[in-house]
Amino acid sequence: MRCVRVVSAALLALGVAAGPAAADTSPSPSGDLGRDSSAPTRAGTSFRTATEIEQEQRATADGAAGDYLYWSFPADAGQRPTVRATVKLPDTHAAETWQVDVYDGLRRRQSCQWGAQTRTAAAGTSSVELACVLRTVRAWSEPWANDPLPGTYYVRLTAVRLPTSDLGLPVGTEVRVASRDMGGAAAVDGSLSEPLVPGVAVASREDGEGAGDASDPPVLSAIEPEDGWSSGWWSDRWVWTAVGGALAALAGVGGYALTRGSGRPRQGPPGSPGA
């Protein structure tokens, strides 16, 4: 009976501990896209002028065929970002091939796990949709590795094969980034001291009248996750470690309760042999 109680208590503890961890990994609802009326409406033309966007934010921009369009967004440890881009083409155009590329804070091109990163729009097609699902962002990696790390990521959208007749034609673009939290399965033993976020020597002109005092620290990129940079110090692996320790303790108590007294000599009634 005691063994049954021990197992029941262990299963109850496991269910209570695992419930919040599973809830935290659910993606943000798509309805949040409409909550921000200040979504960017233009893109940058280089890494240095990339337009900053937040995850789950819909950014739009008008451009011309042949332009390089850049956006940047933050990605933290344990996230697996998905970049989606839509290019709206003019009514009359030849066959065009568009491509979306993603770079990390060190401007290293990151490979896509899956998704239509490059697509060709046939003549007369009204739009073309692209997607790139990155690998899970790691909290730490070897210096020689090309693993995605916490920090700023850049999205570059451009036409890679474009007929001369289509150069300069107006196009409309739409970019959205969303991430899935991969949880403790993606946790590693280690973390960066600082995320890979680019720094600038002077403040933005929009934030002040001048560059400020020379003793002021460099101004970093303004974008970061809503809850700040975690740098991989917390994951639901801590929860499972605690649950495992609790189960081990319960198993020890249950084993002791089942086996205690088995080594004692059995005493018979008074007057019997061995009493």
Q: In which band, very low, low, confident or very high, does the pLDDT at 140 lie, cut at 50, 70 and 90?
A: confident
Q: How far apart are CA 109 and CA 107, in angstroms?
A: 6
In the block, residue with structure tokens 């009326």:
37
Q: What dotted CATH number matches 26-235? A: 2.60.120.380
**Predicted pLDDT at 25:** 32
**Predicted pLDDT at 66:** 94
Averaged pLDDT, 219-231: 66
The pairs formed by 31-35 with CB atoms below 8 angstroms and a separation of 24 or more are: 32/56, 33/57, 33/58, 33/176
Instruction: Parse the chain into domains and list their residue ranges.
Output: 26-235
Q: Which of residues 1 and 263 earns the better pLDDT score? A: 263
If you compute the radius of gyration of the chain from its CA atoms, what whole number of angstroms results?
28
Per cent of the chain over pLDDT 70 is 65
Q: How far apart are CA 198 and CA 230, in angstroms?
A: 18
On whether the pTM is more than 0.75, the answer is: no
Q: Which of residues 200 and 113 earns the better pLDDT score? A: 113
**Predicted pLDDT at 261:** 59
Q: Which of residues 198 and 118 earns the better pLDDT score? A: 118
- pLDDT tops 90 at residue 246: no
Q: How far apart are CA 106 and CA 149, in angstroms?
A: 10
Q: In which band, very low, low, confident or very high, does the pLDDT at 225 lie, cut at 50, 70 and 90?
A: confident
Q: Out of 120-134, 168-182, 215-229, which region has the weakest mean confidence (pLDDT)?
A: 215-229
Q: How far apart are CA 198 and CA 222, in angstroms?
A: 10
Kindly tell me the sign of the dihedral angle through the C-alpha atoms of 193, 150, 36, 218: positive
- Report which of 88, 100, 256 is spatially closest to residue 171, judged by C-alpha positions: 88
**Predicted pLDDT at 196:** 85
In the block, residue with structure tokens 């709206």:
88
**Predicted pLDDT at 202:** 36
Averaged pLDDT, 32-52: 78
Q: Kindly report, residue by residue over 66-103, the tens digit of the pLDDT.
A: 999 999 999 998 899 999 999 999 999 999 999 999 99
